[in-house]
Amino acid sequence: MSPFAKVGLACALAAMPAAALAHHGWSSYNEDEPITLTGPLKDVRWGNPHGSAKMNWRGAEWDVVLAPVSRMEQRGLTLDAIDDRKRVTITGYIRRDGTREMRVERIRAGGKVVELR
């Protein structure tokens, strides 16, 4: 690659929003084996491009990927229902590459089941 092409590529990457660089595709999750966990969420982040939290599972802390806030709110899920270490039941998929991350498809919180995808 020529030096000019390298500079052009570096400029293009620098111009991309950080969220676009960090975002992952859904194909990286093992959709053949849904996992259901019950326990408290912690470090809940209610923001875009999607909400997130942490949950202890298999003796380690896992990242929990939620839906975009607008979708969760439209379907009746509120931050108050899952924040402050409240017990929830989540069903979703873990990453294929072994990264401690789970993409949540549905959540039961406060007596309500909400589909996130």
Measured in residues, the chain has a length of 117
Residue 18 domain-assigned (yes or no): no
Look up residue 92 and give its two tokens.
């979703």
Q: Which residues contact 33 (CB under 8 A, 6 or more apart)?
A: 93, 94
Q: What residues pair up with 16 in beta bridges, in sequence order?
A: none
Residue 2 domain-assigned (yes or no): no
CATH number at residue 80: 2.40.50.140
Domain span holding position 101: 25-115
Residue 36 domain-assigned (yes or no): yes
Q: What is the pLDDT of residues 59-90, one digit of tens each?
A: 999 999 999 999 999 999 999 999 989 999 99
> Is pTM beyond 0.85 here?
no
Q: How far is CA 113 from CA 26, 56, 57, 60, 107, in A?
A: 22, 21, 21, 26, 6
Q: What is the pLDDT of residues 31-58, one digit of tens each?
A: 999 999 999 999 999 999 999 999 998 8
What is the enclosing helix (H) or strand (E) of 63?
strand 60-65
Report the number of distinct structural domains present in the chain: 1
Number of H helices, E strands in the chain: 4, 7
